[in-house]
Amino acid sequence: MRLIIIAILAFAIASSSLCAEETGNGFTQVEKQELQGLRQTSQTFRAVTGKVRPAVVHLRCTLPKNPASAVGKESSKASGEEATTTSVGSGVIIDPKGFILTSYHVVLFAEEIRVFLADRREFKAQLISFDAISDLAVLRIDAQDLPTVVLGDSEKAEVGDWVLAIGSPFGLQQTVTAGIISATGRDFSSGEDNPYVGYQNFIQTDAVIYSGSSGGPLLNLDGEVIGITHNNMAMAVKHKIVHEYKGLSFATPINFAKNVLESMKKGYAAQRAYLDGVGLLDVDTALAEAANLDRIYGAQVQYVKRNSSAERAKLRTGDIILAFEETEIRNKVHLRGLIACAEVNKEISLTVLRDGQEIQLRFNPEPGEFIVEDTIFGFSLSNLTRSLADVYDSESTEGALIYSVKQRGLGREIGLLPGMIIVSINDVNIPDINAYSQAAKRFSLDNPILFVVKYQNSIKRFGLIPKNREPKENVEAPEE
């Protein structure tokens, strides 16, 4: 009995000593290990932000009073009857030569764009090109040897992944927020009359994107940009998803930008691949069981229109598209997003379930047929679809939308800007880009050319006067 008591006392003394050692500073060994894990996460956050913050910029845009599509602007304010409006946003430097990627709604209708770098330098920026469907825009400043971000692969991002966002909420520059990916493939579009419907394949996150952070980067833990953020009010309210802030934010997947950035940097429109002439339906439980699928995935073809890219791809009604190249299709939005990120006219493979058998279809994703280039004036034009008309607060879908203007093009020289809607040329009405193409055939730089455009809910006129005209008139005037 004495031996038992001695053993118990010895164990108690040892345990007391061990606990004293383990609970130094009030933490047990297990708690210390948990804290160490949190410190490692913190160190990762610190490393990522330290790497990326120098390439994140603050944008300050001067807008006309009461600009169109005000729902898309952020942190707006005005004072006085004649005052202009200011909006703020963020962006990321994607090229050391001064190219910046941001959200288009941040710079929509901006009369002046000021860029503030992390090192406190300030520049005036020029809008080079934009893609209204994916809410992306490319700017440029006159600077060299700038720090840049690394573009990742947004297709690899999964729900539950840690992400960081950097931006300028309410003008507070270089602000970092953290969270996880809450969902992928969010789509705010509606209707089937636009071939780009469903390409708004947004990443949803609970990393807070405050007003003014739009256009900044959404980062993975490798410090790679996987999305360009936008404040939820700019999109969700416009599309009636929510009516006030609910703690959800969104980002355009970076893959939507990667395949069009080089052309956008040159001043061309973001001409994307698409699969037109097809109705798609998400696979549900009943359809999966009827097709003997082991799980619910894929997109079913409802119909195929004649003389469409879908018909040329040899798709048939009833086909279930299971994979795009090696990527398994989650739903119709996922499929359209993958096609939008594909290289135009480069052959791809679709895995299709037809009559119980998997087959491979190969086709070339075709470019959007509603974009044309004007080589004389150096801009690209698009038909004004209902979706684009909503962006520009236009009641009518008539006109030719100027999608991009080259930096040193003749169009920019006379004052034409991206976002303007051409309604007439030399008193000839322009209801669409076909009418513009016909009118352009009669252009002669030896004669005056008058553009009438709709911009910011007002009509503006821009004229080209041949350079050889004015000197001739000046010489003849004294003789009279």
Burial 91-109 (b: 16+ CB within 10 A, else e): bbbbeeebbbbbbbbbbbb
Grade residue 189 by pLDDT with cuts at 50, 70 and 90: low
Please state, for a pLDDT cut of 90, what percent of the chain lies above it: 34
CB 339 within 8 A of CB 313: no
List of domains in the chain:
2-51 (no CATH), 52-266 (2.40.10.120), 273-367 (2.30.42.10), 371-464 (2.30.42.10)
Q: Which of 12-16, 21-25, 202-206 has the lowest mean pLDDT?
A: 12-16
Q: Which of 350, 316, 347 is nearest to 335 (CA)?
A: 350
Q: Give the pLDDT of residue 199.
A: 59
Angle at 435 between CA 433 and CA 437, to 5 degrees: 70
Angstrom distance (rounded) from CA 181 to CA 338: 19
pLDDT at 478: 40
Q: Is the pLDDT of residue 271 over 90?
A: no
**Predicted confidence band at 320 (pLDDT cuts at 50, 70, 90)?**
very high
Structure tokens at 151: 């573009």
Q: Is the pLDDT of residue 480 over 70?
A: no
Alpha carbon of residue 274 to chain centroid = 17
Helices (H) then strands (E): counts for the chain: 13, 28
At 197 the pLDDT is 45
Contact criterion met (CB below 8 Å) for 218 and 227:
yes
Phi, psi angle pair for 121, to nearest 5°: -75, 150
Neighbours of 356 (CB within 10 A): 7
Cβ atoms of 393 and 407 closer than 8 Å: no
pLDDT of 341 reads 82
pLDDT at 109 (0 to 100): 77
Alpha carbon 72 to its chain centroid, in Å, reads 14
Helix/strand/coil percentages in the chain, nearest 5: 25, 30, 40
126 touches 151 (CB < 8 A): no
- What does the block give as tokens for 357? 């058998």
Q: What is the pLDDT of residue 340?
A: 81
Least confident of 4-18, 22-36, 53-67, 461-475: 4-18
Which residue from 148, 133, 152, 138 is spatially nearest to 101, judged by alpha carbons? 138
pLDDT at 479 over 70: no
Whole-number Cα distances in Å, 111 to 85, 106, 167, 308, 414: 10, 12, 22, 40, 15
Is 90 exceeded by the pLDDT of residue 301?
yes
More confident residue, 428 or 230: 428
* Higher local confidence (pLDDT), 394 or 106: 106
Instruction: In whole angstroms, give the CA distance from residue 406 to residue 412.
Output: 7
pLDDT of residue 32: 79
The larger pLDDT score, comparing residue 437 to residue 452, is at 452
Q: What is the mean pLDDT of residues 68-84?
A: 45
pLDDT score at 181 = 94
Q: Which two tokens stand for residue 349?
A: 């493979």
Average of per-residue pLDDT values in the chain: 79
DSSP symbol at 368: P
Cα 258 to Cα 362: distance, rounded to the nearest angstrom: 23
Provide mean pLDDT across the span 419-438. 88
Angle of CA points 148, 150, 156, to nearest 5°: 160
| Structure confidence at residue 24 (pLDDT) | 54
Residue range 131-159, pLDDT digits in tens: 777 788 999 999 999 999 999 999 899 99
The pTM of the full predicted model, rounded to 2 decimals, is 0.71
Q: What is the mean pLDDT of residues 187-194?
A: 51
Task: Indicate the pLDDT class of residue 368, thresholds 50, 70 and 90.
Answer: low
Confidence band for 75, pLDDT divided at 50, 70 and 90: very low
How far apart CA 225 and CA 150 sit, in angstroms, is 6
Asked whether the predicted pLDDT for residue 293 surpasses 50, the reply is yes
Both structure tokens of 45: 């956050």
Give the pLDDT band of residue 455 (cuts 50, 70, 90). Answer: confident
Confidence (pLDDT) at 457: 72
Give the residue among 150, 162, 219 at the shortest CA–CA distance from 41: 162
Q: DSSP letter for 160, please.
A: T
Average pLDDT over residues 90-116: 91
Which residues are identified as catalytic? 105, 135, 214
Cα separations in angstroms, 446 against 430, 465, 466, 467: 22, 8, 6, 8
Strand partners, 308: none
Q: What residue spans of 214-259 are helical by DSSP H? A: 232, 255-258
For residues 249 and 73, the model is more confident at 249
> Greater confidence, 407 or 454?
454
Highest mean pLDDT among 33-42, 169-178, 237-246, 383-392: 169-178
- Do residues 177 and 209 touch, judged by C-beta distance below 8 A? yes
**Who wins on pLDDT, 284 or 83?**
284
Tokens (6 digits) for 28: 């047990």
CA distance 317 to 302: 5
Tokens linked to 439? 């009118």
DSSP one-letter code for 77:
B
